[in-house]
Amino acid sequence: MSKRTDPDKFIVTKYVLYPGLLLALLVRCCVAAYPYSGRGAPPMFGDFEAQRHWQEVTVHTPARDWYRNTTHNDLQYWGLDYPPLSAYHSLLLGLVADWLEPESVRLFASRGYESETHETFMRWTVFLSDLYFYVTAVLCICIHMERVTSKSELSVFKRTDVSTVICLLYPGIILIDHGHFQYNCVSLGLFLRATFFIVAIENDIMATIFFVLALNYKQMELYHALPFFFYLLRKCFITVTNESSMAHLIYRFTKLAIAVIGTFSAVWYPLVHSWDDVLQILHRLFPIKRGVFEDKVSNVWCSANVFVKLKHVYNNEEMVRMCVMSTLVACMPSCLDLFFRINRKKFVLCLINVSLAFFLFSYQVHEKSILLVAIPVTIYLPDDPFTSLWFLLLSTFSMLPLLLKDGLLLPLLCTSSIYLSFYSIALHLSGLETNIFSVLSANTVYEAAKTKSYNHVVMKLFSTMFFFSLQGMILLGLGSLLVKPPPQYPDLFPLLISMYSCLHFIFFLIYFTYCQLQLPMCLPVQLKVKKN
Amino acid sequence: MILELLIIVTAVKIYFIPLYRSTDFEVHRNWLAVTNNLTIDQWYHDTTSKWTLDYPPFFAWLELALSYIAKMFDPAMVKIENLDYASEMTVLFQRLSVIILDFVYMYGAFRCARFISRGNLLVFLILITNPGLIMVDHIHFQYNGFLFGVLFLSMANLFENNCVYAAFWFAMLLNLKHIFLYMAPVYVVYLLRAYCFTVSSKDGVHTPWYSFSVVNLIKLAATVLFVFGLSFGPFINQLPQVFARLFPFKRGLSHAYWAPNFWAFYNFADKILQHLCLKFGIPVVTQEASMTGGLVQEYQHAVLPTITPATTFVLTAVSMMPALVKLWHLGADTKYRSLSFARCLTLCSTCAFMFGWHVHEKAILMILIPLSYLSVLGKMDARFYTFMSVVGHYSLFPLLYPKKLLQIKIFLLLTHLCIVFYYLPILYEPKTKLSRKSAFLLVPRLTALQILYLCGLIGLCFYENVLHIFLGLDKTLPFLPLMITSVYCALGVFYFWVSFYKYFLYSQLSTAPISSKSTWLDNEIRITSDKNK
């Protein structure tokens, strides 16, 4: 009997996987030992208190009242403003907290509750959620990446172990989730799973379901909705020869529609009894009143605000309209390209472009939303390691004012240097003659990545730009730490940082859109697993 | 690669700057103040703080040097009256001083790793990621890394056959922290055999007495005496006071938390017997020993005879004797004697750890660090290290008691264990075998019993942190987990001690021919000690 090829049997490189994975987890633990946002800062505290308050509300009030202002639920104090799945997650954690330490979720009495055991509990919930949702999703994607890459193209950045660890060590999400305290890892993990089902398994239904779940965990996932929509829609049009094309189209489309509607109704059913409820929840999720941006965000509106005070010129309604229009204009090239010249490789790029366009132009953007752009970039990193690294560092830097406010400077520096060192180790593993400064050289990095090569001048230009961009980051960082801004401009450095980052993001939007347009059209077919 | 690893390890250490620190932090701050403000004849007399100076003179000089830099950070730090002073700058300075002095350790580790032809990067990685050292130095706060760095410098010189330099560095080390006296017999025996006897015998049994070189002996003696003179010279008028500070026999047999050694069994048996006696109505002297404070006074055993310091010294010396005799014989072999030296060093530290007086749990590092160096030098040593890396480091967990640190402790240990359990087998097993079997856990070939024992540690960890609290026992029996941990780990350390002793006594490197059929056996090792020949 000849050897059958067993599709489930595959070998992945795991030389640095286990220690690297544990290092990534260790870094998370270390960051989690630092104070969370708003610790000991009454009356409103911070995101930690918001999460704790949601547990308190979801445990003690009936599901219908979660999004309503009732006697037991004061929406003015950290009212629930994330979609239902988030609320269920809070309920689940709240029940556990209620069992372990009932004082921590007592209705009203527990506001501003801070105790060491409770903090440890909350930190563990983030850690376990991260492990369950995010780490596994990253592993799936990275294993797949190595499996489908042919041996000649297999660069060090596409090895499972290296790509996983680089992905998991990305400082931004570690600092926000484990330091600042949020549960971004859940929605981003679900989103990565959806991406995995599209780029690897081609199971559109599962992809839809997971994406809807992600959307129902955080409405910010809307940043990623357009690529999913256009990609799945285009796939409905792919005809199979021996079937009637129209019937096939309708059949495929209906399947997806059922998946979307089914998931939505399953998630919303316990909360909704009338249209009024839906409108109330939607009103909570999209508060137009809150203005175009809150703190200093590195997007176009915040930068434009320096020169023209937008609030005085436009009212909120007009602002929303402008935001929608400009966002659509900015993401259309990418979306239309994905639709008309479909290619699986374009999908991740399209995710980056669209979310970046949303970040730059849309309404009510938070500086943490850059994570929604950064996570697709971490999966794109093996294809374009140099620019992606640059982007990821810059995205972390753009959150500097927030992290400084939380007292996370030390973790920021350590996590970033660990990230850069590991990246440099990856370059070493490629077998090229490298030293620690090779990270700065576009030429070496692209050679190690074995992907594309620009001509020599462009490489030099890239390296120089990256070098000066790093210098700028260091100078601005030092400035905001050491220099006291003049009294009439107290927000000088946060503003400079956001404008500096904004300029970069516009450049990245153009660059990644260019990358996407460069790729040829290629209908998605089942990928072959390389033979080992 | 080495630079990147250094950055990663240092970055992890920097995370710990604002975290929990033990009273040792205040101890060292006080020493900064004492050395900076007082003249040297008062250093060992000052009693403003209860944490009096009890390290040898060179360490005091080091503190003096540090205190000048400390003044730039925060002048209030070096005031003697400022007890328990811990401003932000003080913390930053003290922590950074440990982190920067740790580069001595890294350099030492690098020097020693260079001698190994296969796995030199691995041993460097294992040494610098040692979780015990990170926990004790960078969270608990001590300067062990620096001291082990000096030890490694001495060992590196020894491997290069620069015996005088080796003696010099070791004498320096003794004057930095006198706990390394436990290693001194190994140095004495080795240097006598390998340096003072210039001719090596082929069979390793007979000593060529005729080749005794008095010149070499004088060189060694002069070096050591010079260092000691430099150190204790300025204190010549107050030697009794200095020695009283250095060897405080007022402290008990065991530390607050029993180190996992022979005396843990002894104390445990005493407790059990005491309970039995009470149950059967036999009158015993009951005395509650304080198990919490850092300054434990003498502790009387209730049933079993009380141990005096002299007993522990006799036991330690007797237990070391066979190993030293063996080293004398193995020292004849020029090719492998450095290896035997490293093994004997580990073994004698273990003896001292097992039977010493007032042994700290931290002293287990004196076993773990030389053993981790050995782990790339022989398959058996690798097995011992895989076993001890779990037990030894786990036994350090109670040192950092805040619940908040549990996650960090676990993942520090797991990261290191991953390196040990995953890379060591790759070093010893040919690649083809590896892909067929699951290399993880299996290839170090711990016996089923050992694996069972190690799995017990997981259960212990679970019991200690979850079950014990859920059963509500933390109010009534708060020290039970500590006792179980120390006795359970003592079992592992004891097992290691016996089997490593047996392994060392039966090792026949000097007569073993270099066999060609077994590729990765012990004689694959190349410590290029005979480079000077």
Percentage of the residues of chain A whose pLDDT score is greater than 90: 48
pLDDT in tens, A67-85: 888 888 888 888 888 899 9
| Mean pLDDT of the region A107-126 | 89
Instruction: Quote the tokens at residue B75.
Output: 């002048």
pLDDT greater than 80 at residue A88: yes
| Mean pLDDT of the region B431-456 | 66
3-state SS record for B154-218? HHHHHHCCCHHHHHHHHHHHHCCCHHHHHHHHHHHHHHHHHHHECCCCCCCCCCCHHHECHHHHH
pLDDT greater than 80 at residue B533: no
**The pLDDT of residue A240:** 64
**The pLDDT of residue B492:** 94
Q: Tell if the CB–CB gap between B407 and A29 is shorter than 8 Å.
A: yes
A18 contact B CB<8A: yes
Q: Return the bridge partners of A293, or none.
A: A365
Region of residue A78 (left: phi > 0; alpha: psi -120 to 50; beta: else): left
- Give the residue from B426, B455, B463 showing the smallest Cα distance to B443: B426
Q: Which residues contact B402 (CB under 8 A, 6 or more apart)?
A: B20
The upper half-sphere exposure of residue B203, i.e. CA atoms within 13 Å in the direction of its Cβ, equals 4
Give the separation between CA A498 and CA B164, rounded to whole angstroms: 61
Q: Tell if the CB–CB gap between B4 and A421 is shorter than 8 Å.
A: yes
pLDDT greater than 60 at residue B529: no
Q: Picking from A139-143, A308-312, B433-437, B473-477, which range would have the lowest pLDDT averaged per residue?
A: B433-437
| Mean pLDDT of the region A92-118 | 88
Query: Is residue A442 a contact partner of residue A466, using CB atoms and an 8 Å limit?
Result: yes
H or E stretch including B333?
none
Q: Quick one: closest CA in A to B131, which residue?
A: A26
**The pLDDT of residue A307:** 84
Look over chain A and give the mean of its residue pLDDT values, rounded to a whole number: 87
pLDDT in tens, B328-368: 888 777 777 888 899 999 999 999 999 988 888 899 999 99
Angle at B259 between CA B257 and CA B264, to 5 degrees: 95
Give the separation between CA B364 and CA B367, rounded to whole angstroms: 5
A180 band by pLDDT with thresholds 50, 70 and 90: very high
**The pLDDT of residue A302:** 85
Q: Picking from A3-12, B103-112, B477-486, which range would have the lowest pLDDT averaged per residue?
A: A3-12
Q: Which residues on chain A are in Cβ contact (under 8 Å) with B403?
A: 116-117, 120
**The pLDDT of residue B65:** 93
Q: A365: helix, coil or strand?
A: strand
Q: Picking from A114-118, B114-118, B291-295, B315-319, which range would have the lowest pLDDT averaged per residue?
A: B291-295
Q: Which residues on chain A are in Cβ contact (under 8 Å) with B419?
A: 19
A10 contact B CB<8A: no
Q: How many helices (H) and strands (E) does chain A have?
A: 23, 0
Q: B496: helix, coil or strand?
A: helix
> CA of A177: how far to CAs of A48, A174, A440, A530, B57, in Å?
10, 5, 29, 36, 48
What is the nearest CA distance from A157 to chain B, expressed in angstroms? 17
Q: Return the bridge partners of B359, or none.
A: B254
pLDDT in tens, B141-153: 999 999 999 999 9
**The pLDDT of residue B519:** 30
A243 band by pLDDT with thresholds 50, 70 and 90: low
**The pLDDT of residue A343:** 87
Give the separation between CA B7 and CA B284, rounded to whole angstroms: 57
B2 contact A CB<8A: no
Q: Which residues on chain A are in Cβ contact (under 8 Å) with B422?
A: 18-19
DSSP state of A200: I
Instruction: Quote the tokens at residue A126.
Output: 């983030």
**The pLDDT of residue B296:** 43
Handedness of CA B333, B338, B342, B348 (dihedral sign): positive
B513 band by pLDDT with thresholds 50, 70 and 90: very low
A437 contact B CB<8A: no
pLDDT greater than 60 at residue B531: no
pLDDT greater than 60 at residue B521: no
- Give the residue from B86, B528, B150 showing the smallest Cα distance to B337: B528
DSSP state of A222: G
pLDDT in tens, B48-66: 888 888 899 999 999 999 9
- Give the residue from A236, A218, A270, A530 showing the smallest Cα distance to A375: A218
**B418 closest CB neighbour out of A22, A116, A119:** A22
**The pLDDT of residue B524:** 34
Burial class from Cβ neighbours inside 10 Å (0-12, 13-18, 19+) for residue B184 reads: middle
Q: Quick one: closest CA in B to A100, which residue?
A: B470
**A414 closest CB neighbour out of B11, B412, B440:** B11
B511 band by pLDDT with thresholds 50, 70 and 90: very low
pLDDT greater than 90 at residue A485: no
Q: Tell if the CB–CB gap between A413 and B14 is shorter than 8 Å.
A: yes
B427 band by pLDDT with thresholds 50, 70 and 90: confident
**A22 closest CB neighbour out of B3, B407, B411:** B411
A100 contact B CB<8A: no
pLDDT greater than 50 at residue A339: yes
| Range among A380-394, A451-465, B27-41 with highest mean pLDDT value | A380-394
**The pLDDT of residue B336:** 78
pLDDT in tens, B27-46: 999 999 989 888 888 888 88
Give the separation between CA A261 and CA A278, rounded to whole angstroms: 14
Q: Quick one: closest CA in B to A427, which residue?
A: B1
CA dihedral in degrees (B74, B79, B84, B86; nearest 10)?
Answer: 0
Q: Which residue has the tokens 């500590």?
A: B482
A284 band by pLDDT with thresholds 50, 70 and 90: confident
Q: Which residue has the tokens 């060694």?
A: B220
pLDDT in tens, A487-522: 888 888 999 999 999 999 999 999 999 999 988 888
B422 contact A CB<8A: yes
Instruction: Quote the tokens at residue A443.
Output: 């030429």
Q: Tell if the CB–CB gap between B15 and A22 is shorter than 8 Å.
A: no
A495 contact B CB<8A: no
Q: A109: helix, coil or strand?
A: coil
Give the separation between CA A287 and CA A282, rounded to whole angstroms: 8
| Mean pLDDT of the region A454-461 | 85
Q: Which residues on chain A are in Cβ contact (under 8 Å) with B3?
A: 435-436
Give the separation between CA B22 and CA B205, rounded to whole angstroms: 50
Q: Which residues on chain B are in Cβ contact (under 8 Å) with A120?
A: 403-404, 406
ipTM for the assembly? 0.90
B532 band by pLDDT with thresholds 50, 70 and 90: very low
Give the separation between CA B249 and CA B137, rounded to whole angstroms: 25
**The pLDDT of residue B321:** 93
- Give the residue from A425, A418, A422, A424 showing the smallest Cα distance to A441: A424
A270 band by pLDDT with thresholds 50, 70 and 90: confident
**The pLDDT of residue B526:** 37
**The pLDDT of residue B295:** 40
Q: Picking from A301-310, A375-384, B157-166, which range would have the lowest pLDDT averaged per residue?
A: A301-310
pLDDT greater than 90 at residue A529: no
What is the nearest CA distance from A257 to chain B, expressed in angstroms? 44
B282 contact A CB<8A: no
A433 contact B CB<8A: no
A124 contact B CB<8A: yes
Burial class from Cβ neighbours inside 10 Å (0-12, 13-18, 19+) for residue A341 reads: middle
| Mean pLDDT of the region B11-33 | 91
B515 band by pLDDT with thresholds 50, 70 and 90: very low
Q: Which residues on chain B are in Cβ contact (under 8 Å) with A424?
A: 4
Query: Is residue A154 a contact partner of residue A448, using CB atoms and an 8 Å limit?
Result: no
What is the nearest CA distance from B20 to chain A, expressed in angstroms? 10
**The pLDDT of residue A104:** 86
pTM (2 d.p.): 0.91
**The pLDDT of residue B520:** 30
Q: Quick one: closest CA in A to B17, which residue?
A: A410
Q: Return the bridge partners of A365, or none.
A: A293
Region of residue B200 (left: phi > 0; alpha: psi -120 to 50; beta: else): beta
**B7 closest CB neighbour out of A33, A123, A421:** A421
Q: Picking from A135-149, A362-376, B197-211, B241-255, which range would have the lowest pLDDT averaged per residue?
A: B197-211
